[in-house]
Amino acid sequence: MEPRQSRAGAIPEDGLTRENPRYALKITSLLMLLGAISAVAFPYLGYSFQGQKIDALDYEGRVKHILDTTPLIDGHNDLPYLLRIELQNKIYDAEEFNFWDGENMIFLLAGFMEAGFWWDETEVDWCPDTRHFDDPDHAVRDTIEQIDVAKRLFAHHSTNLTYCTTSACAISSFKSKRIASMLGAEGLHQAGSALASIRQFFLLGVRYITLTHNCDNAFATAASTVTAGGKDNGLTEFGYAAVKEMNRLGMMVDLSHVSHDTMRDVLRVTRSPVMFSHSACYALARSYRNVPDDVLSGLRENGGVVMVMFVKRFLNAVDPESADMQTAVDHIFHVADTAGWEHVGIGADFDGTVTLADGIDDVTAYPRLIQAVMERGATDGQIRGLVGENILRVWRDNEMNAAAFEAAGELPVEDVWVERRFSRWDNPLPLMLPGNKKRVKAENYV
């Protein structure tokens, strides 16, 4: 079974309808994907609308039909980080935090949110005191805490939320009219410069990781470094090992926040489709945070998806305050025109910023956004890909490739970061391998 890059529309009919126990344990830091699949494109989901005809100019009716049959997947929601900084992850006091009856769930239950990736972020995202990537910090601990609070939230509201670690689960959750809830991690700094952390995050349910957040790490160069005048070094040697291991696991590689050369390096070596969970187009807004056209074009071969964000300064770098819904639509069409409609999605960055494009304050704006895309000439099929089918294809292909690597006997990658410093207890210990020159030395003992 050969690993595959995702091809437009090439989702096997038996793929998304089968639960596979080998994928039962997967996902990463918190992010909200609101997603699903249309009965028109995927008839095996059991939805039939034969005979229903909607006038081409009835935009409202067409939008309603699409959102009734295709759950919308938003690639990036930062709500779990707000749980950390406002509640210190204490979520059970209904008087203080009534999640289900409150504003957050009103947004989700507006009739078109059926799945979501929740991002796990920690306060080390901005690298306040890091001098060396091997310096001890609390990143791994804090990431585990955010994975924990997200999963506790899902469980506490399980009547309406479904914790999902597979693309098939997202489909079945949609069919049962519950909100599929998945996990992502925003930055490999959260892995503590260790591939073992990536593996354990996957076992804890994380399904995608952004290679960097707003600073460099042991794996890759961040866009913010280049913005500040630093050199774009792309992926490090250790970063190549991380991409290989993420492909092996079925962990989606997220390229939002990374430098342009990091994007290019990953596209050269990845064995599975990539994602940009919340990005925009460099050609329209010249911020290094955005995706250049050559990378967009490369997605045609790779099969990946750019999920367009709605943060003002990344939609319009010259006059951010003028960015509105039509500006966001401009970016959606630029991705579609350059990479193809099979490679565009939505990744708003809700709950992670207060500078959203005018007219897109929360998820209740999605029907209007989709109608704006429709009024510019997008077909219903293209819009179904935009709202959910494209990212589900990418996720499913990552799962299938991981199964192929496992079947081929591929072992976990054991690379260690070149500047890793090992320490040990300063005490006499037995020799496992006599004469072993690799043995870590203690200060006073062999």
Highest mean pLDDT pick, 81-90, 235-244, 416-425:
235-244
pLDDT surpasses 80 at 334: yes
pLDDT tens column, 257-283: 999 999 999 999 999 999 999 999 999
Q: To which H or E segment does residue 209 belong?
A: strand 206-210
What pLDDT shows up at residue 12? 35
Helix axes 366-375, 59-69, angle to 10 degrees: 120
- Report DSSP letters for 106-159, one per residue: HHHTTTTEEEEEEEE--GGGG-SS-SSTTS--SHHHHHHHHHHHHHHHHHHTTT
What pLDDT shows up at residue 136? 66
Tokens of 117: 């990736």
On whether residue 415 sits in a domain, the answer given is no
On whether residue 5 sits in a domain, the answer given is no
pLDDT surpasses 50 at 390: yes
Give residue 274's identity as a one-letter amino acid code.
V
pLDDT surpasses 60 at 124: no
What pLDDT shows up at residue 48? 32
What pLDDT shows up at residue 163? 92
Domain housing 342:
21-407
Q: Domain count of the chain? A: 1
Instruction: List beta partners, residue 30.
Output: 119, 183
On whether residue 322 sits in a domain, the answer given is yes
Q: Provide mean pLDDT across the span 114-125.
A: 48
pLDDT band at 171 (very low <50, low <70, confident <90, very high): confident
199 alpha carbon, distance to own chain's centre: 16
Least confident among 18-27, 91-100, 309-318: 18-27
pLDDT band at 421 (very low <50, low <70, confident <90, very high): confident
What pLDDT shows up at residue 318? 97
C-beta of residue 321 within 8 angstroms of C-beta of residue 24: no
Looking at per-residue confidence, does 110 or 183 come out higher?
A: 183
What's the CATH code of the domain at 60?
A: 3.20.20.140
Least confident among 7-16, 207-216, 243-252: 7-16
Residues 6+ apart with CB under 8 A from 94: none
pLDDT surpasses 80 at 109: no
pLDDT tens column, 354-364: 679 999 988 88
pLDDT band at 3 (very low <50, low <70, confident <90, very high): low
On whether residue 258 sits in a domain, the answer given is yes
On whether residue 416 sits in a domain, the answer given is no
71 alpha carbon, distance to own chain's centre: 17
What pLDDT shows up at residue 131? 61
What pLDDT shows up at residue 158? 87
Q: Provide mean pLDDT across the span 56-75.
A: 90
Helix (H, G, I), strand (E, B) or coil at 4: coil
Give percent of the chain with pLDDT exceeding 90: 54
What pLDDT shows up at residue 130? 57
pLDDT tens column, 281-290: 999 999 999 9
Catalytic residues: 76, 78, 186, 213, 257, 278, 349
Q: Provide mean pLDDT across the span 49-76.
A: 83
What pLDDT shows up at residue 112? 39
pLDDT surpasses 70 at 16: no
Q: Provide mean pLDDT across the span 147-166.
A: 90
On whether residue 351 sits in a domain, the answer given is yes
On whether residue 420 sits in a domain, the answer given is no
CA distance 185 to 147: 9
pLDDT surpasses 90 at 407: yes
On whether residue 431 sits in a domain, the answer given is no
